[in-house]
Amino acid sequence: MEAVPRKTTIREVAQAASVGIGTISRVLNSSSQVSRETRARVLEAIRRLGFRPNAQARRILKRRAEMVCFLLSNRDFLHPFHARILQGVESYASGLKQHVLFAALHYSPRTPPDRIDLPPVLQEHGLIDGLILAGTIYPNLLRRIESIHMPFVAFSNNVVGMGDEEQFDQVGFDDFNGTLHATRYLIGKGHRHIVFAADVSYPWLWRRFEGYRQAMRENKLKHVLITSRNPQSFVDFGQKSAGRILSRQPRPTAAVAGNDEIAYGLWRALRRQGLKVPDDISLVGFDDREEAVLMDPPLSTVHVDKEEIGETCMKMLLERLHHPRMTFSQRILPTEFVIRGTVRQL
C-alpha cells in the first residue's frame, strides 16, 4: 500500500520515453533543441513515473549550489529586526529559485581570525555559493570569511572597528540622515531644547548622534548627549536616562532616542514619574520596530525597510557571484521619518 516510490533516474525516464538520456536532460533544462513531439513524450514519461531530478547531482556539474547562507552573528536570538531582513532575503531568493540557509555564530572580537570556529555550513565546500552576514561584524570575522574565499555581502550597520580602507560588499541604511530629518522635524515643531539619548560608543549610534548634531548646528542650537551608567539593556538605558533628562535646566522639551528600545525605556520611566508624552515632553525613536505602533501614543520614529535590506543584500550577492572580479560596492538605503503621536507642536 504505502510502498515508497522507487527513485527514478533520467535513465529510466529515457527508457520509458524511448529516447536517449541527453534528450531528457535537454527537456529538463528547457533548451530549445528538442522537437515538439519528443518533448511531449518525455514530459509524459516524467509525469507517469513521478520523476523529480536529483538536485545534488546537477549541482556537481553546474558548480553552483544555488544556495546562500544567512549568517547571524553574536545575537542571543533572532530579533524581529533581523528576522525581517532574513525574510527579505528569502522572498527575493525564492523568486530566483535560490535557497536560503540559516545559521548562527558566536565569536569574540578578540579571537584571532584563524581560530574562529565557523558553523558546519562553511566548513564544507560547494554547499553554498555565498554568504549574507548579519549581526555584529568585527574585522576578525571578515578576515576569517575571506580566508575560505567565500563571496559575501555584509549588512553594514552593525559593523564595528573597521577602517575606511576595508573593502567588501555592503548594504546598510542611512543612520545620519534618519536622525537629521527627525531632529529637523522637532525643530520645525518649535522645539529648541532637544537632547539625544544613546550610548554613542556603538558606531551606528554615533552616526545617529552626528545626524542629530548636524540638525542642531544648522539651527544654532546646543546639542546635549544623555548617557547612563551600566545599563542592562537598551530599554534600561532609556529608563535610566529619563532622570538625567528631567534634571536639566531648562527642562528639554524633546528627546531623540538612539533607537526604539531606548525610546520605550524613556517613555516608560517618564510615565512613571507622572509625565505625559507628548504633552510634557516629545519623543522620537529610530528603527520602527513592531512595538513602535503599539506604544501609547504610537511612537514617531525613523522607519527602516528591513525587507528591502534583505532583498538588496541578496541582489548584491548574486551580482557578486556573476561577476567575481567586479569592484566592491556599498549601498546605503534611505530611511524615512514617520509621524505618529509622540511629538507635539510647541
Partner DNA sequence: TTAGGGTGTGGAACCAGTTCCAGGGTTTGT
Partner DNA sequence: ACAAACCCTGGAACTGGTTCCACACCCTAA
Q: Point out which residues bind DNA (CB under 7 A).
A: 6-7, 9-11, 18-26, 28-29, 32-35, 37-39, 53-54, 57-58, 60-63, 125
What's the min distance (Å) between Cβ of 314 and DNA? Answer: 23
Give the residue from 171, 123, 173 showing the smallest Cα distance to 148: 123
φ/ψ bin of 126: left (φ > 0), alpha (ψ from -120 to 50), beta (otherwise)? left
Q: Which does 149 bind (CB under 5 to 8 A by kind): DNA, a second copy, none?
A: a second copy
Q: Which is nearer to a second copy, 71 or 180 (CB)?
A: 71
Q: Which is nearer to DNA, 25 or 227 (CB)?
A: 25
Q: Which does 43 bind (CB under 5 to 8 A by kind): DNA, a second copy, none?
A: none
Q: Which is nearer to DNA, 41 or 191 (CB)?
A: 41
Q: Which does 79 bind (CB under 5 to 8 A by kind): DNA, a second copy, none?
A: a second copy
Q: Which is nearer to a second copy, 36 or 323 (CB)?
A: 323
d(CA 143, CA 277): 46
What's the min distance (Å) between Cβ of 66 and a second copy? Answer: 9
Q: Which is nearer to DNA, 22 or 190 (CB)?
A: 22
Instruction: Name the 3-class secondary structure at 198.
Output: coil
Give the residue from 54, 68, 134 showing the smallest Cα distance to 99: 68
Q: Which does 276 bind (CB under 5 to 8 A by kind): a second copy, DNA, none?
A: none
d(CA 299, CA 292): 5
What's the min distance (Å) between Cβ of 6 and DNA? Answer: 6
What's the min distance (Å) between Cβ of 173 and a second copy? Answer: 18
Peptide bond just before 203 cis, omega within 30 deg: no
Q: Which does 10 bind (CB under 5 to 8 A by kind): a second copy, DNA, none?
A: DNA
What's the min distance (Å) between Cβ of 23 and a second copy? Answer: 20
- Overall size of the chain counted in residues: 346
d(CA 44, CA 29): 16
Q: Which does 78 bind (CB under 5 to 8 A by kind): a second copy, DNA, none?
A: a second copy
Please give the residue ranges that form the binding site for a second copy (CB under 8 A): 1-2, 4-5, 7, 52-57, 59-60, 63-65, 67, 70, 77-80, 83-84, 86-87, 90-91, 94, 97-104, 119-121, 123-127, 148-149, 235, 264, 268, 271-272, 291, 294, 296, 321-325
d(CA 111, CA 144): 10
d(CA 144, CA 116): 7
What's the min distance (Å) between Cβ of 152 and DNA? Answer: 22
How, if at all, do strands 99-105 and 67-73 pair? parallel
Grid cell 535537454 in the structure block, residue: 26
Q: Which is nearer to DNA, 28 or 104 (CB)?
A: 28
Q: Which residue type, as a one-letter code, is found at position 59?
A: R
Q: Which is nearer to a second copy, 28 or 221 (CB)?
A: 28
Q: Which does 40 bind (CB under 5 to 8 A by kind): DNA, a second copy, none?
A: none
Contact 90, 68 (CB under 8 A): no
Q: Which is nearer to DNA, 127 or 275 (CB)?
A: 127
What are the DSSP calls for 12-52, one per residue? HHHHHTTS-HHHHHHHHTT-S-S-HHHHHHHHHHHHHHT--
Which strands make up the sheet holding 300-303, listed edge to edge? 224-226, 194-197, 254-257, 282-287, 300-303, 336-338
Calculate the CA dihedral of residues 89, 90, 91, 96 and round it to 10 degrees. 90
Q: Which does 323 bind (CB under 5 to 8 A by kind): a second copy, DNA, none?
A: a second copy
